[in-house]
Amino acid sequence: MLKLKYEEFKEQLLEKIREKTGKNAVIRETFVEGKNGKQRQEILYIPEENDEIITALSLGGLYAEYLGGKSLDRCTTLIVENCGVMQRLAVSRDFHNWERMKNYLRIEVVNAERESSFLENTLHRKILDLAVYCRLVFKESGSGIVSLVVRQSMLPLWGITEEQMWEQAEALFRKERFEVVSTGDFLRWILRYLGEEVPEEEEGEENLYMLTNRFCNRGASGMFRTDILEQLGQKHHCGIFIFPSSVNEVMLMPDNVEVSLEEMKECVTDTNRLFVKPEERLSDSVYHYELGSGKVVIAG
């Protein structure tokens, strides 16, 4: 029997998941660390109700299993079983024990107005036109993630105050691994992965960077790591403009370039409308970090 091509496999797999679970799985492209730098992957996300628990699996890995002999139905069954296992994992790890749960906290960021419904029962803090909230991330890799959004109802179970939760989350946030990569290096990684000719690195100062976390997954919160912004600002001897590329990453640019604020705002707005999925849009604002200030503000 002829095997389905990759795109056909994706289409039929999504339909079968919908039939078996009633859920609409989402496929998102991301870049993860590999032996030879960043590598492109397509990840299959299956959100649960209210986006509280998220199961994510490598689509390339599933297709490899299909090519290795597993039927499409068997691949679908494995996914459904994985959803159940990951949900049980999330709620069974001594969930009532704060001492065991506190090290899984991660701070993430969304648009405060656009995600107002999501934020209603979610512990959050508003910063500028954004809102930060916490997620328990039990497991994350290039092939999958299991996580649980922190809700108000969880605090009594843990016997802590909201202030205690934020204190712990912020302590972990200051230690979290974020990466600042020049767009030139990022493009060279992509070309290398695609097997295309990689141009030699040109001499000259880089003026545009991407800031994200290790797996490029909801890593835009890194825009509030002022120590990282300060370090980049010191390198360029100036402040830093922050462009909200998506909830997964932001772009950074030294403020000594000759580009007007109006042009930057127009670029962010157009990029959001043309290239960013609605559910992944962060903001149309341009943000700024002034060297030595220790804080991020809305530019202009």
Quote the pLDDT of residue 143: 57
Kindly report the length of the chain: 300
Residue 16 has pLDDT above 80, yes or no: yes
> pTM of this prediction?
0.72
Q: Are 130 and 112 in contact (CB under 8 A)?
A: yes
**Residue at 234: amino acid letter:** Q
In eight-state DSSP terms, residue 97 is -
CA 239 to chain centre: 25
* pLDDT grade for 3, boundaries at 50, 70 and 90: confident
* pLDDT grade for 33, boundaries at 50, 70 and 90: very low
Residue ranges covered by each domain of the chain: 9-175, 178-298
More confident residue, 75 or 129: 129
- Judged by average pLDDT, the poorest of 112-126, 132-146, 177-191, 277-291 is 177-191
Q: What is the mean pLDDT of residues 143-167?
A: 87
Convert the pLDDT of each residue in 57-111 to its tens digit: 777 777 888 888 888 888 888 777 766 555 555 455 567 789 999 999 999 999 9
DSSP 171-226: HHHHHS-EEEEEHHHHHHHHHHHHTPPPPPPPSS----EEEEETTSSS-GGGGG-H
Q: Are 281 and 111 in contact (CB under 8 A)?
A: yes
Residue 31 has pLDDT above 60, yes or no: no
Q: Are 149 and 163 in contact (CB under 8 A)?
A: no
Query: How far apart, in Å, are the Cα atoms of 191 and each of 38, 74, 194, 201, 208?
Result: 11, 34, 5, 13, 18
Q: What is the mean pLDDT of residues 147-158?
A: 87
